[in-house]
């Protein structure tokens, strides 16, 4: 195991951005940056032993300061959407900044992915720390958070979130990496298969993607990924939920006991032989098929377009802060926030 640090550009404020490269004994490579605690690259040997970067992203730290799709981003304090950009906490209305259709998406325009983090290189990991002061993004409490990326010798990227707040607050962090198991520059993911550990999902009201509050069965619908299925097979089906969101962009409720660490998704690309197994202790996963990526200029001259990747964002249900049908993402003052998501790669 080795961790190498190199220059990755500068922020608009003139701060130096660094890129950390971690390599395991199998030759797999993980690259992360202290700007936004972002996952920049994951290079996995394919069935022919060719190192293949399976994560969409940019060549320079400066590019991540815009990053409309949130490539590789650490999302916090709250992932996904909050209806009307507000919620009640302890009898007080908490107002956030609306940044998508009147809602708050991924904590607003000043999310954790646009901040510099303190980095600490470890033996096979990099830990990023951020002190989020009371009122940052509108959330209450001084929230001290650490996100640790570890590259294991069984070819897994482990993401460990830990935090503590001095007031009751919201803690629902996730990673917004875009995966393409054919390679980041290989085009659409229609032929890649997906399986989700979920017999239910949360339908949305309309194109603003706020859940209705219902937890609906997937059986008999194009939302059924209980068995491996090509992502493109039913993505354009005549099904209202898909038409409202331009394809898959829904939260699936995982079939596991509360707090249990278990698999959430399994994906596979026959062309490269690369498979992904994703695990979490969160109650849900947002499966997003990159429906809104458009002519985004990425790494090594690649141009990313609609459905050139998929995201598997472990999370509490969208708008859970306003909907008691769902598990609640509130963190009590002084209690530890501690959650882990793992993306493991293998060749079949």
pLDDT in tens, the chain (348 residues): 679 999 999 999 999 999 999 999 999 999 999 999 999 999 999 999 999 999 999 999 999 999 999 999 999 999 999 999 999 999 999 999 999 999 999 999 999 999 999 999 999 999 999 999 999 999 999 999 999 999 999 999 999 999 999 999 999 999 999 999 999 999 999 999 999 999 999 999 999 999 999 999 999 999 999 999 999 999 999 999 999 999 999 999 999 999 999 999 999 999 999 999 999 999 999 999 999 999 999 999 999 999 999 999 999 999 999 999 999 999 999 999 999 999 999 999
Q: Hey, what are 336's tokens?
A: 């530890």
157 φ, ψ (degrees, to nearest 5): -95, 110
Q: Which of 244, 248, 246 is nearest to 207 (CA)?
A: 244
Helices (DSSP H) in the chain: which residue ranges? 240-245
CA 193 – CA 315 distance, rounded (Å): 22
| Strands 336-347 and 274-280, sheet pairing | antiparallel
CA 252 – CA 217 distance, rounded (Å): 10
Q: Hey, what are 285's tokens?
A: 């996963």
Instruction: Give the C-alpha distances (Å, rounded to integers) separating 12 from 9, 18, 108.
Output: 10, 14, 19
Q: Which of 108, 121, 111 is nearest to 36 (CA)?
A: 111
Q: Which of 301, 285, 291 is nearest to 341 (CA)?
A: 285
Q: Which of 163, 120, 127 is nearest to 145 (CA)?
A: 163
Indicate the SS3 state at residue 321.
helix
67 φ, ψ (degrees, to nearest 5): 45, 60
Catalytic residue check, 313 = yes
Number of H helices, E strands in the chain: 1, 29
Among 130, 176, 184, 308, the active-site one is 176
Which tens digits make up the pLDDT trace of 92-143?
Answer: 999 999 999 999 999 999 999 999 999 999 999 999 999 999 999 999 999 9
Q: Please, which residues have CB within 8 angstroms of residue 88's CB and are 6 or more apart in sequence?
A: 94, 322
Classify residue 197 by its DSSP letter.
S
Classify residue 184 by its DSSP letter.
T
Contact (Cβ atoms closer than 8 angstroms) between residue 320 and residue 207: no
| Strands 330-331 and 92-95, sheet pairing | unpaired
To which residue do tokens 């395991």 refer? Answer: 24
Among 113, 136, 296, 313, the active-site one is 313
Q: Does pTM top 0.95 for this prediction?
A: yes
304 φ, ψ (degrees, to nearest 5): -95, 135
Catalytic residue check, 136 = no
CA 297 – CA 47 distance, rounded (Å): 28
Half-sphere CA count of 48, side-chain side, radius 13 A: 6
164 φ, ψ (degrees, to nearest 5): -150, 145
């Amino acid at each position: 195991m080795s961790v190498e640090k190199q220059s990755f550009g500068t922020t608009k404020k003139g701060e130096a951005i660094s890129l950390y490269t971690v390599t395991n004994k199998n030759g797999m490579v993980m690259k992360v940056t202290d700007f936004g605690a972002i996952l920049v690259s994951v290079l996995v040997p394919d069935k022919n032993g060719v190192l293949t970067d399976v994560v969409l992203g940019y060549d320079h730290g400066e590019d991540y300061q815009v990053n409309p799709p949130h490539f590789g981003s650490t999302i916090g304090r709250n992932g996904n959407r909050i209806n009307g950009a507000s919620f009640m906490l302890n009898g007080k209305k908490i107002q956030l900044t609306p940044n998508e259709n009147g809602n708050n998406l991924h904590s607003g325009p000043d999310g954790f992915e646009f901040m510099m983090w303190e980095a600490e290189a470890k033996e096979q990991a990099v830990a990023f720390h951020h002190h989020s002061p009371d009122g940052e993004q509108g959330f209450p409490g001084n929230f001290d958070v650490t996100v640790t990326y570890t590259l294991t010798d069984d070819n897994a990227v482990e993401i460990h979130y830990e935090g503590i707040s001095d007031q009751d607050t919201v803690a629902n962090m996730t990673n917004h990496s875009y995966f393409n198991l054919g390679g980041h520059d290989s085009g659409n993911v229609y032929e890649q298969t997906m399986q989700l550990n979920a017999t239910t999902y949360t339908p949305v009201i309309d194109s603003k993607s706020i859940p209705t509050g219902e937890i609906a069965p997937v059986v008999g619908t194009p939302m059924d990924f209980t068995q491996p299925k090509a992502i493109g097979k039913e993505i354009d089906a005549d099904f209202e939920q898909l038409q409202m969101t331009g394809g898959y962009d829904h939260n699936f409720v995982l079939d596991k006991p509360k707090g249990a660490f278990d698999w959430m998704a399994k994906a596979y690309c026959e062309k490269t032989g690369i498979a992904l197994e994703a695990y979490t202790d969160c109650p849900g996963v947002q499966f997003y098929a990159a429906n809104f990526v458009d002519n985004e200029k990425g790494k090594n001259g690649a141009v990313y377009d609609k459905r050139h990747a998929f995201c598997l964002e472990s999370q509490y249900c969208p708008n859970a802060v306003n909907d008691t049908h769902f598990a609640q993402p509130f963190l009590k003052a002084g209690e530890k926030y501690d959650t882990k998501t793992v993306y493991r790669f293998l060749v079949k």
